[in-house]
C-alpha cells in the first residue's frame, strides 16, 4: 500500500511538471496577448504593462518565477533597494498562483477559492442525482431484462447521452420557468436556484451510470455465487442488494473518478446558461482572454483533481472487490 502510494506520488510530480511546462509554453506561443484590446495602447504604456506583469522577461525566467518557490522580482531576495527580501517566496510551489490578468482585482487563488466551492456544490448535487437515478434505473433495467421497461430505460439513457445539455436546459427553462414558474431562470444562491442546473448537469452522467450499472449487474447476476445465494433460499432482495450489487457497481466506480472531475470542471455550458459563478467557465474564458495565470491555475487544478480522484477510485475499488489488491499492481 505504501509503495503504491509512493509510486503514485512520484508519477504525480512528473505529470505536474510536464503539464505545467507544456501549457506554459503553449499558451504563450498562441498569437495575441493578455493586454491586447481592440484599441491599441501607446507603445510606452504597453511596455510598462508588460513590465508590471514580468512579460518582458525571457520565457525561462517567467517560468521559474511562476513555479517558484523563490520570488524573482524586485521584491524577492535578489531584488535591489529597500524592497529587497520583502517577499522571499512566491510562485506555485509556495501556494501563490499569481494575479489574474483579466480580473485584475483578484488573484488566481481568490478566483479559484470563490468559484470552486460553487462548482463543487453544483457537482455534488448533480452527482447525487446522477447516481441515484442512474443506479436505480440500471438495476431495474438489468432485473427486467428484455422487457418493455428495460427498452424504455435504455432508450432514455441513450437519449440522455445523445442530447447536449444546453438543449435539455433550454427545454427545462421553457417548461419550469416560463410555462410553470417553479424555479428562477438563472443565478446562484438559494436551493431553488440549484435544482435546474444540477438536474441538467447530472443527466448525461445519470445516463452513463445507468448503462454501466445495467451491464455490471447483468454480469454479476450470472455469476456462480449469485446462483448459490438463490439456492440457499435468500430473498431476491437480499441477493440483489447484498451480493450482486457490489460486483455490479464496479464499472460505475471506475467511471466515478473521471466523471467527478468532469462534473466539477466541465460545467461550462450549464454555468453560462444558468449564470453560475463556478470554475467551469474559467477553463475556456481564461484561454480566450489569454489570462495566462488563471489558465495555468485551472489547468493545475484540473490535473490535481483528475489525479487524486483516480487515486480515490483505485482505493475504493479494493474495498468493493477483495480480488483486487494494490500491491499486485
Partner 1 sequence: MPTPQGARFRRQGLAAALFVGLFGGVLYLASGARLKPADFTFNNGTEVTTLDPATVTGVPEGRVLRAIFEGLVVKDPLTLAPEPGMAESWNISEDGLTYTFQIRKEARWSDGHPVTAEDFFYSFQRFLDPRTAAYYAYQLWYVRGAKAYTEQVDEKGAPLNDFSSVGIRTEGTHTLVVELEAPTPFFIDLMGFYPIFPVSRRNIESAKEQWPDSWEIRWLRPENIVTNGPYKVLHRRVNDRIRLVKNEFYWDADNVALGSIDVLAIEQDATMLNVYLTGGADLIDRVNTNVVREMMVREDFSPVPYLGTYFYRVNVTKPPYDDPRVREALSLTIPREQISRDIMKMGQIPAYGLVPPGIPGYKGAECRKEDSERARALLAEAGFADGEGFPALEIHYNTSEAHAQIAQVIALSWQRELGIRAKLRNEEWKVYLDTQNTLNFDVSRAAWIGDYVDPNTFSDMFVTGGENNKTGWGNAEYDQLIADAAATVDPAQRMDLLHQAETILVRELPILPIYFYVTQNVAAPRLGGYFENIQDEHFPKHWYWMDDEELAAKRAGYTGDKELVDPHGPPQGMYSPAEMRRRAGQ
| Single residue of 257, 283, 290, 300 touching partner 1 by CB under 8 A | 290
| Single residue of 184, 254, 268, 304 touching partner 1 by CB under 8 A | 184
The burial class, CB within 10 Å (0-12 / 13-18 / 19+), for 199 is: buried
Alpha-carbon span 217 to 230, nearest angstrom: 15
- Closer to partner 1 by CB, 113 or 159: give it: 113
Site string for partner 1, 219-258 (x = CB under 8 A): ----------------------------------------
> Do the Cβ atoms of 24 and 296 come closer than 8 Å?
yes
Alpha-carbon span 113 to 249, nearest angstrom: 33
Alpha-carbon span 162 to 281, nearest angstrom: 22
Q: Is 272 in the site for partner 1 (CB under 8 A)?
A: yes
- Closer to partner 1 by CB, 46 or 150: give it: 46
Binding segment for partner 1 (CB under 8 A), chosen from 142-150, 187-195, 199-207, 211-219, is: 187-195
Q: Is 293 in the site for partner 1 (CB under 8 A)?
A: no
Alpha-carbon span 264 to 259, nearest angstrom: 8
Give the interface size with partner 1 as a residue count (CB under 8 A): 67
| Minimum gap (Å) between residue 13 Cβ and partner 1 | 27
C-alpha cell at 277: 459563478
Site string for partner 1, 153-172 (x = CB under 8 A): --------------------
Q: For CA atoms 273, 276, 280, 282, give the dihedral sign.
A: positive
Q: Is 268 in the site for partner 1 (CB under 8 A)?
A: no
Alpha-carbon span 270 to 126, nearest angstrom: 11
| Minimum gap (Å) between residue 163 Cβ and partner 1 | 18
Whose cell is 481568490? That residue is: 110
> Do the Cβ atoms of 258 and 67 come closer than 8 Å?
no
- Closer to partner 1 by CB, 143 or 269: give it: 269
| Single residue of 177, 234, 245, 313 touching partner 1 by CB under 8 A | 177
Length of the chain equals: 329
- Closer to partner 1 by CB, 13 or 315: give it: 315
| Half-sphere exposure in the Cβ direction for 314 (13 Å, CA) | 15
| Minimum gap (Å) between residue 94 Cβ and partner 1 | 12
Q: Which of residues 8-67 bind partner 1 (CB under 8 A)?
A: 30-33, 36-45, 47-49, 51-52
26-60 CB burial, b ≥16 within 10 A, e <16: ebeeeeeebbeeeeeeeeeeeeeeeeebebebeee
Alpha-carbon span 312 to 319, nearest angstrom: 11
Alpha-carbon span 325 to 329, nearest angstrom: 7
- Return the axis-axis angle of helices 191-221 and 108-143, rounded to nearest 10°: 40
Site string for partner 1, 82-111 (x = CB under 8 A): -x--xx-----------x--xxxxxx--xx
Q: Which of residues 110-149 bind partner 1 (CB under 8 A)?
A: 110-111, 114-115, 117-118, 120-121, 124-125, 128
3-state secondary structure of 70: strand
Binding segment for partner 1 (CB under 8 A), chosen from 16-24, 151-159, 232-240, 275-283, is: 275-283
Which residues contact partner 1 by CB under 8 A? 30-33, 36-45, 47-49, 51-52, 75, 83, 86-87, 99, 102-107, 110-111, 114-115, 117-118, 120-121, 124-125, 128, 173, 177-178, 181, 184-191, 194, 272-275, 277, 281, 288-290, 316, 319-320, 322
Amino acid at each position: 500500500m505504501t509503495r503504491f502510494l509512493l509510486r503514485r506520488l512520484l508519477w504525480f510530480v512528473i505529470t505536474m511538471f510536464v503539464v505545467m511546462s507544456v501549457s506554459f509554453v503553449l499558451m504563450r506561443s498562441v498569437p495575441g496577448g493578455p493586454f491586447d484590446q481592440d484599441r491599441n495602447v501607446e507603445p510606452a504604456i504597453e511596455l510598462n504593462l508588460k513590465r508590471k506583469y514580468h512579460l518582458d522577461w525571457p520565457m525561462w525566467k517567467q517560468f521559474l518565477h511562476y513555479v517558484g518557490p523563490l520570488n524573482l522580482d524586485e521584491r524577492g531576495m535578489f531584488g535591489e533597494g529597500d524592497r529587497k527580501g520583502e517577499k522571499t517566496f512566491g510562485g506555485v510551489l509556495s501556494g501563490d498562483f499569481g494575479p489574474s490578468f483579466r480580473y485584475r482585482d483578484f488573484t488566481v487563488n481568490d478566483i479559484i477559492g470563490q468559484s470552486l466551492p460553487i462548482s463543487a456544490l453544483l457537482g455534488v448535487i448533480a452527482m447525487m442525482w446522477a447516481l441515484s437515478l442512474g443506479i436505480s434505473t440500471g438495476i431495474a433495467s438489468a432485473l427486467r431484462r428484455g422487457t418493455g421497461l428495460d427498452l424504455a430505460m435504455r432508450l432514455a439513457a441513450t437519449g440522455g447521452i445523445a442530447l447536449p445539455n444546453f438543449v435539455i436546459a433550454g427545454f427545462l427553462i421553457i417548461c419550469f420557468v416560463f410555462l410553470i414558474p417553479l424555479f428562477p431562470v438563472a443565478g446562484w444562491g438559494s436551493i431553488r436556484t440549484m435544482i435546474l442546473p444540477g438536474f441538467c448537469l447530472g443527466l448525461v452522467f445519470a445516463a452513463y451510470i445507468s448503462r454501466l450499472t445495467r451491464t455490471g449487474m447483468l454480469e454479476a447476476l450470472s455469476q456462480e455465487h449469485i446462483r448459490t445465494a438463490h439456492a440457499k433460499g435468500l430473498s431476491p432482495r437480499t441477493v440483489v442488494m447484498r451480493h450482486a450489487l457490489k460486483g455490479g457497481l464496479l464499472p460505475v466506480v471506475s467511471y466515478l473518478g473521471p466523471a467527478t472531475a468532469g462534473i466539477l470542471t466541465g460545467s461550462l455550458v450549464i454555468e453560462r446558461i444558468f449564470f453560475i459563478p463556478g470554475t467551469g467557465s474559467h477553463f475556456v474564458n481564461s484561454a480566450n482572454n489569454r489570462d495566462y495565470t488563471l489558465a495555468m491555475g485551472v489547468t493545475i487544478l484540473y490535473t490535481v483533481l483528475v489525479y487524486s480522484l483516480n487515486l480515490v477510485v483505485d482505493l475504493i475499488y479494493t474495498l468493493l472487490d477483495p480480488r483486487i489488491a494494490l500491491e499486485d499492481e
